Chains A and B, each alone.
Chain A
Amino acid sequence: MLEIRNLHVSANNKPILRGITLTLKKGEVHSIMGPNGSGKSTLAQVLAGRESYEVTAGEIMYDGKNLLDMAPEDRAREGVFMAFQYPVEIRGVSNMYFLRAALNSIRKYRGEDDVDAMDFLSLVRNKMKLLQMDDALINRAVNEGFSGGEKKRNEIFQLAVLEPRLAILDETDSGLDIDALKIVAEGVNALRSPDRTFLVITHYQRLLNHIVPDFVHVLAEGRIVLSGDKSLAFELEEKGYSWLEKEPVG
C-alpha cells in the first residue's frame, strides 16, 4: 500500500534522507528505529506532505497514487495520518470542534454527509474509553496546556476517531510514563487491522514490547542500514546505535 523508492530529501539545501527504499503492505506494522538526527521525523513529515522539505529524488506511491503530487490535506483525506512527535497547540479551538471539522472534511472528500451530532458523540465516547481519556481534556482547546504525555495520548485518540488507512507514529512513546505507554499501546493494538498499515517510529525498543512490529528497519544518517523482524529491536536495545554508525554502510 505504500512504496517508497530511492527517496532523497533535503531541508535548506542540506541532504537529510539519502535514498530510502521501503515497502509496506496492507495491514503490516513496520517500525523505524534510529539515533537522534538520523532522519526519522523527516521521513514521517515528507510522507505527510510538509512543504519545508524538498524531495530531490525518488518517489512515493500510496495505493497506486503518487503521494508527492497530493496536497497534505488530500493525503489526510486519503487516509494518511501522522501522530506528531511535537503536537501543536491551537488556542481557543476545542478538541471536539477540531476533530469534528477534521472528520467532516474527510467525509466530504469521500462524498459523505457531515457526521451526525449524536453519532459523533458516541464515536468520541467510545474512543475516549479506549484511550482512557479524561472528559475534561476533550473539551479543552487542542493541546493547550496539555502535558507532554497528554498530547501524545491525544494524538492516538485522534487517530482512533479518524480511522486512517496508514498511521505514522512519530516517537509517540517519548513523554509517556510506563502506565500511559501501556494504555496508548493497547489503544494502538486495538486499532490494528488487516486494512490498516502502521509505521511506528521510535528511538527506544520499549514501545515495541507493547506494539509488536512485523518488521524493524534501522535508519542511520538518512539511510536504512538494517532491516529485520522484531528481534532486531532487542539487538539494538542491547548494543545501542553507535556500532551502526561506525560500520561501513553498504
Chain B
Amino acid sequence: MLDDALRSNRLPAAPGVGYKPQHFSQILEHAKPVAWLEIHAENYMGDGGRPLAQLRHLSEQFPISVHGVGLSIGGETPLDTDHLARLKHLVGWLNPASFSEHLAWSTHDSHFLNDLLPLPYTDATLTRVCDHIDQVQEVVGRQMLLENPSSYLAFEESTWSEPDFLSEIARRTGCGLLLDVNNVFVSATNLDFSPQGYIDAYPLEQVGEIHLGGHDEDEDDHGRPLLIDSHGREVVDPVWALLDYVLEQSGPKPLLVEWDTDVPDWPVLRAEAERAQTALDRVPA
C-alpha cells in the first residue's frame, strides 16, 4: 500500500495532448488551451539527443505526464527490472506531474509485442497485478495511475467486472486510475454493455486523469460493430457525451486528447483540446 506522501499527481484540470515531435515549435508558439503534455515513456529512454533536449525544454513550460506503454503490468512473468530501472530514471530526471501505465500485458517469453494485450479478470490476475503495481510504485517512488483497456473480446474465465476489478486494485495498492472514456465506449460497443452503467460502477473518486481518443469501425464475424482503438482520428460525439456524463459526477479533471496514428497538423489537434475545454467549462468546479 502506497505512502500518502507519494501521491503527487499535479496535472491541472485542463486539456492536455499527447506530445508529437512534429508539433514542437507550434506548441511553444500557440499552445492555448493546451495546458499540459503527455509523453510515451519509452520514446524518451535513449541516452540523449533531440528527444531528451525537446522534453527538457517543454518541461520548463508545461506539466508533463509520463505514460508508460511497455511495462507489461499484467504479465504472467516477473516485471522487467531493467525497464523498471529506466522508468525510475526518467521519472527521477523529469519529476513529471503524473505517471501512468496500463491494465494489460505486452511482454512474454522476453518478446515485447508492442500492443496492449487483454487480461482475464480473475482473483489470480488481481493478485499478480497488485503485486506488480506495489513493485512499480516502490521502485519508481511515485503513485501510478492505471488505465482501463479497450476490449475486443472477453475471457470465459473472468469472474470480476472491469470497474470492480479496477476499484479493488486501487484499494489494495493505493494506485490512482486513468479513465479512458473512449476505451469504455469501445469496450461497451464490442462487448455489448452500457457505457453509462460502467461509469456508474466505476470509482470516479480515484481518477487522476481522463483520456479521449478516436477509434475506427469494423465488424465481427456476425456483422456486429467491432470498434478498434486506433487513436487516428477525431473523438466521436458519443464519446464526448460520455465525457459529459463522467464530468457531471466527477467534477473537472485533467483531460488528455490522444492522437497517435495519422497525426494531424497542430491546429486540428488543438481544436480537439478546445472541445475538451468546452466540456470542462460546462462543469461546475
A and B: partners?
no
Q: Which B residues fall within an 8 A CB radius of A?
A: none
Q: Which A residues fall within an 8 A CB radius of B?
A: none
